[in-house]
Structures are given as structure tokens and as C-alpha cells.
Amino acid sequence: MSELHFSQLDKAIIVAYLAATVGIGFWISKRASKNIQNYFLGGNSIPWYMLGLSNASGMFDISGTMWMVSLMFIYGAKSVWIPWLWPVFNQVFMMVFLSVWLRRSGVMTGAEWIRFRFGDGRGAKLAHSVVVVFALINVIGFLAFGFVGISKSAATFLPWVLSPDPVKNANLYGLGITILTTVYVVKGGMFSVVFTEVLQFVIMSIACVWVGCIAMARVAPDALAAMTPEGWQSLFFGRELNLDWSNLLPAAGDRIASDGWELFGAFVGLMFIKGVLQSVAGPAPNYDMQRVLSARSPREAAYMSGIVNLVLLVPRYMLVTGLAVLAVVFLSAQLRTQGADVNFEVIMPLVMREFIPSGLLGLLVAALLAAFMSTYAATVNAAPAYVVNDIYKRYWRPDASDRAYVTMSYVVSIVVVVIGTAIGLYVAKLNDIVQWIVTALYGGYTAANLLKWIWWRFNSYGYFWGMATGIVAAGVVPKAATWLATDGTIEPVAEIYLFPVIFGLSLIGCVAGSLATPADDRDVLKRFYLKVRPWGFWGPIHAAVAADHPAVQANRNFGRDMLNCVVGIAWQTALTAAGVFLVFQDFGKLAAAVGVIAASSLFLKFNWLDRIEDYPPDLPQPEAVEPAPLAGAGLAAEAPSC
């Protein structure tokens, strides 16, 4: 394996990028540190297109990209479906209706939104506490995920040896880049995150298209077909996966078996059901939610979620597919010599070492550093929003100065980085973290956060018990399944198949907790319903609101929203497939994908984009619907713009 040789231009690009990133953080730190509204939400003054590019950059993480390259190598075009595990199409639900609903609240964090929905009684305090716990677990999990990815990648594609021990060498790289990222995000808050991520997205997009073009120039379609099993280049599938790697790379077949996804039809079906439930539940309390709450208006929040799909998918999959194609054709022989010990998660940096020409290498290395730093920075920024605004300010120092809150945010950011890094030092595989977060942890989140939108009788106690049961189940159920499989009681199962169990346990906690306790305060529910106006089972609350405001109309857009979501999923999948088939140079399938993109875009223009409303047109004057003052809540309602 050849070593990376950095030219002076390469080094200059990398140094200039790192200097610009840290410089932006310090340059805008004065503006960001005025108050916590500026620090966490950018003062609700950042344009939607910048938030959208920032969000796209934040989703372009290096750990996820390494994972996706390994999936593309093994599963080919069918790997397009596997990110439904997250689920990636939650962005479609966000753009169609959830971003508007969420932004109408006018709050700062997901925990603060809980008080807007449930009030400020004892049950609401319990609900608020459990969502803060979930948010911190989620943030720390993603920080560990990011640390593992940057450690593995940087140690492979950077040429300097920091330690003769390979594991220690990787960890030292991870620690160094993590510290640098923490410095600029701690100083600049949301302003720093957004402005640096716009820069990072431009760098990453250029590098992605460039890598895809290299793969197209180096690999002919016939050569790719000869090195892959039948069906590898097809997007579609039957009941079973039927990718036979036995004569080409047996380790790839072993990986499919260990993933437990051979029954691919059932796997995709379960991912879709799980994905719809999780998508309607809304974003987890992380950087995705923070960007929605940072938008200037509900309409701009929807625009922001829509542009993420439009600008992200084609360039990202040109990179993913380009790296996988180069690896399949040129590195398969080398990987076969490793037998069963192939580590598919380091394919991306290995391909970089082989095929990226000197002179342009610096741009790609800067892009990959940007991919890590953008996601890591956004995740770090989310953590203090919950600890400082929802715990420190509310319970300990409600009258402290803005400077004190910002300083405390610095401290919290550093603490969560240290904890996430410590966990990352002991996790061997990216896939282990991915599977636990997207199936177990989010499985425990789904039921409570689905019901909070659609059922008026779902109360704060139900939320607490549903979330608490889900979090405990996320830790216990996978461990129990592993123990039973080791004991021989059951066959080993992929964690995705545990989702129904975790979801079911959480749902029992939600319903039992709600029905065993009184309904939440009627005035709180009326204010929430009047301002957010969700569809669902809100009949008694709508009747109570209509008694005070006869002009108020119920939301009857469920059918239209669901149709837009179905078309949006087809649109999103076609955008993804277009990047894949372009690099495959399968121009017939590319033309079909472009046709789907055009038709679905036209449909969404008339049935979604032209119908977005900041607020319901029948909304009374703001003072009539503004949430009642809550201790430390800071829930300032904005005037409707329609």
C-alpha cells in the first residue's frame, strides 16, 4: 500500500481550512456570546438557505460516510435503502409538515417544547427531565460515533506517525482533531456552527464530485460488472438479498450474514414502518431540532428541511459510490488476502491512499475533516442548550447574567466532549454504535414523541413513563437478546428486529401512564393546539377552542401531507439513485431516476411548496394564544406573518 505524499499545495489547503474554521469561531464569538438566544439559535436571524446548507453539512459526517462506503461495497445499489435505518426520509416529513409545527412553538430546545406541550406541573417536570436525559445520551452517543470515525480515518489517510502502536496512533489523531473542533464551536455557538458549515459544505461538494469523476474515468462499466455479483448494480430486490460473493470476496458474504439482512424484503419493510413512526415522532433533541428552532419563521423552517435533500444527496452519493467502485475493482484482490479479517469500514481511507493524485489531495482531506467537524460541532452545540437552558437556568440560577449562561455553556460543551471521547476510545466498530442508536435508543423515543402530536389525552405522565420505559428497554432488550442467543435459547438477530419489542414496551408505558393519571391542564392544551394546529385525535380540544374562537378550523390536511410524504420519499430516493447510477455510468437507469425527480418535484411544487403557511389563517391575535409564562421557559411567541 502506497503512502500519502502531501505536496506543498496540499499542506497549504489543509492549514488554510483549519485556520479559517477556527478563525470564524473566534471572529463571531462576540456576537454569539451576547445571550443564550444568540448562542443556541443564532438570534433567529440566520437565513433559511444558510441553515439548510449547514444542516446538509452536519449530516455529511465522516463516520457515516465511512459506514455508507462499506455498505455500497458490499450491497451495491441496494445499499441506498439501508440508511432508512436512521431513517433518512425523516427529512421529507420535516419539510412537509413537522418543521412548521415545531417552529410555531417559538421555543429554544426540545425540552422547552415539552413545557409548551404539557405545561409546568409535576408531570411536565418529569417529562422535561426525561427528555433532557435522552438528549444527553443521544448527544454523547453521536460524539462517540464521530470520534471512532475520525480516529480510524485520520490514522489511515494522514501520513504522520504519532505512535508506533496503531491503536494509540489513531486515538491521538482523534483527540487532536476533536480538541480543535471543540475550540471553535465552544467560542462561536450556533453562529459559528452555521457559518463554518456553509464553508465546509462547499469544500465537501467540490471534493465529492471530483472523486465521482475519478471513478468514472478509471473504471469502465464492464470492469465493474466483472468484479461484482449479479444484482449488485440493481436498486430493486425480492424476498431475499441474493448477492453471492462466494467466488469474488467471501468476507463480503460473511458480513451480510453477520448483519442479518439476508431476508432483505422483510428488512426494508420493517425499516419503512419503523421509519414512518419515527418520522412522525419528529426529530430527536439534537442539532437537527436546533436548526429548525433557529429558523426565522415556520415557512423558512420548511424550506430549510427541503433544501437539505436537494443539495446533499447527489454529491454525497457520488463520493460514496466513487470510493466503493474504486475499491471493488482495484482493491478486491488485496482484500481477499486478508481472509475473514477484512475491515470494510476503512475502505474509504484506503482508497484515498491509492487513487487520489498529489496536488488535489489536500482538498479532499480538508473536505473529510470538514465532514467530521461539521457534524461534531453541531452535536456539541446541542448539548449545552439542554443542560444550561433546561436545567441550570430553570432550577439553579434563573436570574443569572447572559454572560454566566454562555460561560456555563462552554463548560458543558467540554464535559460532554470528554465523556463522548472516553466512550469512543472503547468502541471498536462504527456499526455497533449505529445499530444501537438507530434501532434501540430511537425505538424507545418513538412512541412517546409520536403520541405527543396526535392524541390530546396523551399527558405528561404518559410521556415520562413512555420515554423512561423506552430508554431502559433500549439498554436491556439488546443485552437480553445477545445473552439468549449466546445461551442458545434463540437464534442471533439483527438489532432492527428488536425495534417492535422496544417500541411496544414504550407504547405500553405511554398509554398506561396517561390513562392512570388525569389529563393535562385544558388551557395548556388549548394554547398548544391553537398555535401549532396538528392533525390527529384532538376533537375535545378543538371543540373547546372553537367555543372561544368560532372561526378556528381543524387541520384536515392529513391525507395531503401523507401523499406529499410518499411522493417526497420517491423524490429523495431518486436523488440518491441518480448519484449512484451516474458513477456506475448506467445512463438508462440514470435517465429513469431523473424522470422521477422531475415528476415528483413538479408535484411537490403545487401540492406542498405553494401551500405552506407560517400560521393558520384563522389564528387570533398573538396575545390570545401565547403560552402562559413558565419559570425559566422564555417562550416568546411571534406574530403571525400571514
Report the percent of the chain where pLDDT is more than 70.
82
Residue in this structure with the C-alpha cell 503512502, named with its chain if needed? 3
pLDDT of residue 212: 95
Pairwise CA distance, residues 552 & 544, whole Å = 11
Pairwise CA distance, residues 386 & 129, whole Å = 10
496 burial class (0-12, 13-18, 19+ CB within 10 angstroms)? buried
| 87 SS3 class | coil
pLDDT of residue 391: 76
Residue 97 lies in a domain: yes
pLDDT of residue 374: 62
What's the pLDDT band for 574 if we cut at 50, 70, 90? very high
Residue in this structure with the C-alpha cell 412512541, named with its chain if needed? 447
Alpha-carbon torsion angle 68, 70, 72, 73, nearest 10:
170
Pairwise CA distance, residues 290 & 278, whole Å = 18
pLDDT of residue 286: 60
415 and 391 in contact (C-beta within 8 Å)? no
Pairwise CA distance, residues 146 & 437, whole Å = 13
| 109 SS3 class | coil
| 200 SS3 class | helix
pLDDT of residue 396: 83
Pairwise CA distance, residues 281 & 277, whole Å = 6
| 620 SS3 class | coil
pLDDT of residue 474: 85
Give the residue-averaged pLDDT of 117-124. Answer: 91
Supply the range of the domain harboring residue 304.
8-280+297-428+556-615
Residue 575 lies in a domain: yes
Residue 322, C-alpha cell as written in the block: 466513487
- Number of alpha carbons in the 13 Å side-chain half-sphere of residue 512: 11
Residue 39 has pLDDT above 60, yes or no: no
Helix axes 122-157, 166-218, angle to 10 degrees: 80
Residue 44, C-alpha cell as written in the block: 433567529
pLDDT, tens digit, for every residue of 291-317? 788 888 999 999 999 998 888 899 999
370 and 62 in contact (C-beta within 8 Å)? no
Residue in this structure with the C-alpha cell 433518512, named with its chain if needed? 88
pLDDT of residue 20: 77
Residue 521 has pLDDT above 90, yes or no: yes
Which residue, 181, 117, 193, is CA-closest to 149? 181
Residue 504 lies in a domain: no
Residue 318 lies in a domain: yes
Give the residue-averaged pLDDT of 153-157. Answer: 69
Rg, C-alpha atoms of the chain: 24
112 and 634 in contact (C-beta within 8 Å)? yes
Which residue, 207, 153, 143, 152, is CA-closest to 181? 143
Which residue, 150, 196, 149, 209, is CA-closest to 18? 196
Distance between the two ends of the chain, CA-based, in angstroms? 62
Pairwise CA distance, residues 218 & 381, whole Å = 41
Name every residue whose Cβ is closer than 8 Å to that of residue 431 and which is 6 or more positions away in sequence.
67, 259, 345
Residue in this structure with the C-alpha cell 462504527, named with its chain if needed? 430
In the chain, % helix, strand, coil (3-state, to 5) comes to: 75, 0, 25
Alpha-carbon torsion angle 192, 195, 197, 198, nearest 10:
180
Which of 21-30, 142-151, 282-291, 439-448: highest mean pLDDT?
439-448
Residue 157 lies in a domain: yes
Residue 518, C-alpha cell as written in the block: 388525569
pLDDT, tens digit, for every residue of 50-86? 878 877 766 666 777 888 999 999 999 999 999 998 8
Over 217-241, what HEC string results?
A: HHCCHHHHHHCCCCCCCCCCCCCCC
Give the residue-averaged pLDDT of 13-20. Answer: 80
pLDDT of residue 202: 83
Give the residue-averaged pLDDT of 212-234. Answer: 96
Residue 603 has pLDDT above 90, yes or no: yes
Least reliable range by pLDDT among 160-174, 312-326, 533-547: 160-174
- Number of alpha carbons in the 13 Å side-chain half-sphere of residue 227: 22
pLDDT of residue 578: 97
Residue 346 lies in a domain: yes
Residue 637 lies in a domain: no
CATH for 248: 1.20.1730
Residue 621 has pLDDT above 70, yes or no: no
pLDDT of residue 584: 98
336 burial class (0-12, 13-18, 19+ CB within 10 angstroms)? middle
DSSP 248: T
Look at the chain and report how many structural domains it folds into.
1
pLDDT, tens digit, for every residue of 456-504? 999 999 999 999 998 888 888 888 888 888 777 777 777 788 889 999 9
One-letter identity of residue 74:
I
Which residue, 226, 117, 285, 46, is CA-closest to 635? 117
Residue 142 lies in a domain: yes
pLDDT of residue 30: 54
Please provide the average confidence, as pLDDT, over all residues in the chain: 82
Pairwise CA distance, residues 431 & 444, whole Å = 19
The reply to whether omega before 87 is within 30° of 0 (cis) is yes
Buried b (16+ CB within 10 A) or exposed e, 583-617: bbebeebbebbbebbeebeebbeeebeeebbbbbe
80 and 235 in contact (C-beta within 8 Å)? yes
pLDDT, tens digit, for every residue of 254-291? 999 888 888 999 999 999 999 999 999 988 666 677 77
pLDDT, tens digit, for every residue of 375-409? 676 677 667 767 777 778 777 888 888 778 778 87
Residues pairing with 537 in the sheet: 455
pLDDT of residue 531: 93
